[in-house]
Structure 1
Amino acid sequence: MNKEELARRIYELSHLQGEFELRSGLVSSEYFDKYLFEADPAALQRIAERLTEIVPEGTEVLAGLEMGGIPVVTALSLASGVPAAFVRKKAKAYGTCKIAEGAPVAGKRVCIVEDVVTTGGQVLLSAEDLRRAGAVVEDVLCVIERLPEGREKLKAAGLTLHSLYRMEELAAAGKPGEEQQHEQEQAAL
């Protein structure tokens, strides 16, 4: 499956139409449910294979952010052979009390893995948490870059964003299929 075909598949799996209340409180007739592509084994495997091509050289640990980055980092770790850590939004107050579970991050070159980067807010918080835990964090890898604002904020914080797709690419890949389906529906009438 080439990159454009994978983009089309992600769009087909995740693009929903209906009535959806957004975090902002606005109502939209469209919604992109990222968990649907993460839950599809074939799509997730192909995403991981593509992501292996852009893992920054020298990465010692892939750090997936809670919650959407966890399935992506697990698949990517399997595909790349690079150990994974699972980063909490807040360290547990019991047990190991760690911010990052799994592979040790102290003294390691860590690449943050996220499913979607919009404004970069959680990535920035997690990067600071990982740095306090002793990790060297310079790179962020994501499946979808939703807004350029996120890239700019990450860059200002000394982080380089590597994205598999920009949201416009997914929308463009999905539109031909929608147009073709609409034409088929019209022809059937």
Structure 2
Amino acid sequence: MQQLARRIYQLCHTEGEFLLRSGQISHHYFDKYQLESQPDVLADIAQALVPLIPSDTDLLAGLEMGGIPVVTMLSHFSGIPCVFVRKKAKTYGTAKLA
């Protein structure tokens, strides 16, 4: 697990000057989208999360956009179906939130 944590840190941690959503400046930034674009790292994360899923889980859900790659990979390794949750219902098509 520590090796995976190191890989994630090396891939996602950046130093510099970053303006945060709060308006504050940070000299460290963790870009989780970097890990979501690396299939091998994403697979290792999902495999590490599978044992944490409660045994009575019938469905996994991932919030758009960032949760979709993680929940899809987690679904793949756990065999549990997944859904994608929208922040806001569409006004067209099925107009569903999930």
TM range (shorter): over 0.9
Name the CA distance, whole Å, in 1 between partners of 2:82 and 2:21: 30
Residues 144-174 of structure 1 deviation map (CA, whole Å, 9 limit, x = unaligned): xxxxxxxxxxxxxxxxxxxxxxxxxxxxxxx
**TM-score (normalizing by structure 2):** 0.97
> Which runs of 5 or more residues in structure 2 are unaligned?
none
Name the CA distance, whole Å, in 2 between partners of 1:11 and 1:67: 21
Q: How many residues get paired?
A: 98
Please give the secondary structure, in 1, of the residue aligned with 2:52. coil
Residues 71-104 of structure 1 deviation map (CA, whole Å, 9 limit, x = unaligned): 000000111110010000001011001000xxxx
Residues 58-80 of structure 1 deviation map (CA, whole Å, 9 limit, x = unaligned): 11110001111110000001111
Name the CA distance, whole Å, in 1 between partners of 2:32 and 2:44: 15
**TM-score (normalizing by structure 1):** 0.51
Give me the CA root mean square deviation.
0.6
1:57: which partner in 2?
Answer: 55
Match of 2:64 among 66, 83, 94: 66
Q: After TM superposition, what 4+ stretches of structure 1 lie above 2 angstroms from structure 2?
A: none
Tell me, yes or no, if structure 1 residue 4 matches structure 2 residue 15.
no
Percent of aligned pairs sharing the same letter: 60
Please give the secondary structure, in 2, of the residue aligned with 1:53. helix
